[in-house]
Structure 1
């Protein structure tokens, strides 16, 4: 029996149902993205007793742009409310808190897989692998409902590889419908590249480094962007309609404008230029 993790709403972070896990479990170093650093398992000094961020509306102004690009894909509420049955890490024994922080990134990886599998099932061109996608979705869902001990012992890499191969096949089927020969830029180093107005329709940019690249006005319709690094990438006026496997964290890390066209699966970041 499926739970609500297959719904897009269940695959987005809901801080109201989470015990601030990303603000405690994860480490970050002092940098341009974080005004100060902290170790894994240590609460951020901005985290309040009610598990809310005390500077949530001013994160960028306060030097915490890194927080604004993060999304747990719904893992926070899953671990808080399902895996640990609503038991707060603050009120239980230290062992529970430690296990909670250990399990959170595991479930986050699994939820990211669920998000991609759910999207893959919306592509009519991927019909030949829909049955395999559904089976993979059910397997990953089952894993997310494991006990804390089962989740802590899970080898996420094995499951990422299996799902990754299936998503690659999905991408190939969908992009095969794009006219013309499409260059494979998978894993390409395009850091700072000048790609203004480039025709990248149906191109595979899986895992490509596009940090600070100029993609203003580029045509990315149907391009595969799974795992692409879009930090500080300029997407102003670009067309990402139908882009494959584009996630909210990727968009949040990029720059864009009101003229940037996006798939329905993501929302326009609030910090983008009007």
Structure 2
């Protein structure tokens, strides 16, 4: 974990229910989701089949060695607290193991809840950004509506038009980004920063952006796979949905980047000099100290 982070920060406290608590989950990410043998997974697994590493108590028998034995993808995944919500609230503590008749439905509910909790994560952050105050009422309403959707019955959740809801929320998140970045640009001292690499969905795979000033950049959905961002300045850059797999963030400054998630950090490469938002944790594989944090990498133990 970043030694300079404050684990008691207001945003971290507010988002506590949006952080995975694997001890309260029925191993849903290890059962409901599929994966294919690749650089991220050592084996194939179809949706609905328990991972061969999942124990009867819903813990992972190889948790401490996931990266070393080819299950890097497990250490990157973050359900935003959807696992415990489905397990303990939607299904009231009745697991798919003890009630097999609920299994298929539970596996289908989990990905929907995951999307809703991801939206709650972004909306909760947007409500902490002072520059977005002109749309706080709309953001608060969207947050409330999304929370209500997470409390529906399993059948009602499966009938939701999640794509439509995501699209409506994204309009607000985009407006938030514009308000925050525009205000930061107005306060910027010095020559204007010209971004030649920004843009939604920008293809920056393997790009050499070492030391680049990307403050206030729009990198929504950008493909930054294996890109070199060593020492880059990403303060107040919008990183929502950016693919940071194997992105080199050593020494980069992401202190107040917008809409960055733990999963994105876990997928990237960094070091003790990488500056990250106080609401997130420094991934275990970045640190030479070996210190652990239950929200770093995979939290399933």
TM-score normalized by structure 1?
0.96
2:200 to 186, 191, 213: 186
Aligned to 1:17: 24
Question: Could you tell me how far apart the structure 2 residues matched to 1:181 and 1:221 are?
Answer: 13
Matching of residues 52-63 of structure 1 within 5 Å:
52-63=59-70
Answer with 106-115 or 85-94: which moved more: 85-94
Aligned to 2:176: 170
Aligned to 1:218: 232
Aligned to 2:142: 136
Aligned to 1:122: 128
Structure 1 residue 63, shift from structure 2 partner: 0.9
2:70 corresponds to 1:82: no
What count of residue pairs does the alignment treat as equivalent?
268
Question: Could you tell me how far apart the structure 1 residues matched to 2:180 and 2:39 are?
Answer: 38
Question: Could you tell me how far apart the structure 1 residues matched to 2:57 and 2:73 are?
Answer: 22
1:266 to 260, 268, 280: 280
Question: Could you tell me how far apart the structure 2 residues matched to 1:249 and 1:72 are?
Answer: 9
TM-score normalized by structure 2?
0.87
Structure 1 residue 91, shift from structure 2 partner: 1.0
Question: Could you tell me how far apart the structure 2 residues matched to 1:195 and 1:181 are?
Answer: 15
Q: What per-residue deviation string (whole Å, max 9, x for no partner) do you get for residues 64-96 of structure 1?
A: 0000000100000000000000001011143x1
1:149 to 146, 151, 155: 155
Structure 1 residue 181, shift from structure 2 partner: 5.0
Aligned to 2:113: 107
Q: What per-residue deviation string (whole Å, max 9, x for no partner) do you get for residues 111-154 of structure 1?
A: 00000000000001110011100000000000000000001111
Structure 1 residue 168, shift from structure 2 partner: 0.3
Answer with 109-118 or 85-94: which moved more: 85-94
Structure 1 residue 273, shift from structure 2 partner: 4.8
1:31 to 27, 33, 38: 38
2:259 to 223, 241, 245: 245
Partner SS, residue 168 of structure 1:
helix
Aligned to 1:66: 73
Question: Could you tell me how far apart the structure 1 residues matched to 2:242 and 2:112 are?
Answer: 21
Question: Could you tell me how far apart the structure 1 residues matched to 2:151 and 2:125 are?
Answer: 21
Aligned to 2:248: 234
Question: Could you tell me how far apart the structure 1 residues matched to 2:100 and 2:213 are?
Answer: 56
Question: Could you tell me how far apart the structure 2 residues matched to 1:181 and 1:152 are?
Answer: 45
Question: Could you tell me how far apart the structure 2 residues matched to 1:35 and 1:102 are?
Answer: 24
Contact 2:234/2:257 (8 A) holds in 1: yes
Partner SS, residue 271 of structure 1:
helix
Mind listing any 5+ residue stretches in structure 2 that lack a counterpart? 1-12, 289-301
Structure 1 residue 185, shift from structure 2 partner: 2.1
Note the aligned Cα RMSD (angstroms).
Answer: 1.1
Question: Could you tell me how far apart the structure 2 residues matched to 1:233 and 1:71 are?
Answer: 18
Contact 1:34/1:64 (8 A) holds in 2: yes
Structure 1 residue 35, shift from structure 2 partner: 0.8
Question: Could you tell me how far apart the structure 2 residues matched to 1:265 and 1:28 are?
Answer: 29
Contact 2:228/2:248 (8 A) holds in 1: yes
